[in-house]
């Protein structure tokens, strides 16, 4: 699909009155996710959203965006600035929804569904594939400088690289077509991952077989505080979204991005994926599931690019959904 056609499709808001408006599929998926989250919020007697000061991922994104806005002002690309809210709201919404889900609702939902933790099955699969859980095989990769590097990949690269990459494509390059492909893929891969977290609850090797590690990680207390206590709910390992998100971006940009962009994506994806097992947060099967999920979403987007990826909604919701 050429860029002109993509632009024509994705900027159509369907103001043809009687039938309502058209919105992109990722926005519709987020609205559905929000409605479901609202039901659980009412049923559980908890707020829908976590307080903003505790939503670190959302705040991080909101902190980065002004830098790109400054670049747009310097470049005098006013059209991109005018469309920023319409193009970016679903990304902010998905991140805020995730953080509220993990902090307020996810554990309660899993308990409500009476789904038992699946760490035993994950350990068995890892033992079948690798002779023992993969993190145990890699526990000697514990040089402090290497561990510190893995920490950077696990926290900062994973959470900041996707937003920076999408901001670069949208604000600096002005490639709205590629930006929307990444946005679409990100929303689908995240929402699918959230469902996996709830239906296949896995705590991870660091918190279930930690006593079996004979080689200690000096940064373990720091990682436990920063990641497990503040950025995770109890069972967010299967599939590994730390694997799925950077590999999804790598797959989507591999044929279209420059060699420099592809190299950055490959380094980010490989580094983040490696960090998940070196730091003992994921089993090997979590990584495989994340990679398969990322590849599936990338294939889905690639095979359906000829479609508009838009749906028609009643006019009643037009202003609310499209930011009017």
Over residues 98-149, the pLDDT tens digits come to 777 766 667 777 777 888 889 999 999 999 999 999 999 999 998 889 999 9
Sequence-distant (≥ 6) Cβ neighbours of residue 299 within 8 angstroms: none
Predicted TM-score (pTM) of this structure: 0.84
Q: What is the pLDDT of residue 102?
A: 67
Q: Which residue has the tokens 């797959």?
A: 251
Q: How many CB atoms are closer than 10 A to CB 77?
A: 15
Residues facing 311 on adjacent strands: 23
Give 300-306 contacts, CB < 8 A, sequence gap 24+. Answer: 300/188, 301/181, 301/184, 301/185, 301/188, 301/252, 302/252, 305/1, 305/181, 306/1
Classify residue 115 by its DSSP letter: P
The predicted structure's pLDDT at residue 268: 97
Give residue 222's pLDDT. 54
Tell whether omega for the bond before 239 is within 30 degrees of 0, i.e. cis. yes
Q: Output the pLDDT for position 3.
A: 44
Give every CB contact of residue 284 below 8 A, 6+ residues apart in sequence: 125, 126, 129, 130, 133, 134, 277
Secondary element (H or E) of residue 241: helix 241-253
Residues of the chain below pLDDT 70: 1-21, 102-105, 218-234, 307-324
Q: Which residues contact 218 (CB under 8 A, 6 or more apart)?
A: 142, 144, 147
Residue 8's pLDDT is 36
pLDDT of residue 153: 95
Q: Which two tokens stand for residue 54?
A: 């505790």
Strand partners, 313: 21
pLDDT value of position 218 = 63
Residue spans of the domains in the chain: they are 3-322
Q: Six-digit token pair at 105?
A: 């609702």
SS3 content of the chain, % helix, strand, coil (to 5): 75, 0, 25
């Amino acid at each position: 699909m050429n860029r002109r056609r993509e632009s024509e499709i994705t900027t159509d808001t369907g103001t043809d009155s009687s039938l309502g408006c058209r919105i992109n599929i990722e926005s519709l998926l987020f609205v559905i996710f929000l409605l479901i989250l609202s039901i659980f919020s009412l049923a559980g007697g908890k707020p829908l959203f976590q307080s903003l000061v505790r939503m670190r991922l959302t705040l991080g994104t909101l902190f980065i965006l002004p830098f790109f806005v400054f670049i747009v002002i310097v470049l005098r690309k006013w059209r991109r600035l005018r469309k920023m809210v319409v193009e970016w709201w679903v990304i902010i919404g998905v991140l805020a929804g995730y953080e509220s889900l993990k902090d307020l609702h996810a554990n309660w939902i899993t308990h409500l569904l009476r789904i038992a933790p699946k760490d035993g099955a994950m350990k068995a699969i890892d033992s079948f594939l690798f002779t023992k859980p993969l993190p145990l095989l890699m526990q000697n990769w514990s040089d402090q400088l290497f561990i510190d590097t893995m920490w950077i990949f696990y926290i900062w690269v994973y959470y900041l690289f996707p937003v920076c990459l999408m901001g670069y494509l949208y604000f600096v390059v002005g490639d709205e077509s590629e930006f929307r492909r990444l946005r679409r893929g990100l929303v689908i891969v995240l929402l699918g991952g959230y469902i996996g977290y709830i239906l296949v609850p896995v705590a991870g090797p660091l918190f279930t077989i930690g006593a079996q590690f004979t080689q200690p990680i000096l940064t373990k207390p720091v990682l436990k505080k920063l990641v497990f206590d503040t950025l995770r709910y109890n069972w967010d390992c299967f599939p590994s979204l730390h694997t799925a998100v950077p590999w999804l971006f790598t797959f989507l940009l591999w044929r279209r991005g420059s060699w420099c962009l592809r190299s950055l994506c490959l380094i980010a994806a490989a580094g983040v994926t490696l960090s998940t097992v070196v730091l003992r947060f994921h089993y090997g099967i979590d990584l495989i599931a994340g990679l398969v999920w990322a590849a599936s979403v990338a294939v889905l987007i690639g095979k359906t690019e000829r479609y508009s990826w838009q749906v028609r909604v009643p006019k009643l919701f037009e202003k609310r959904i499209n930011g009017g």
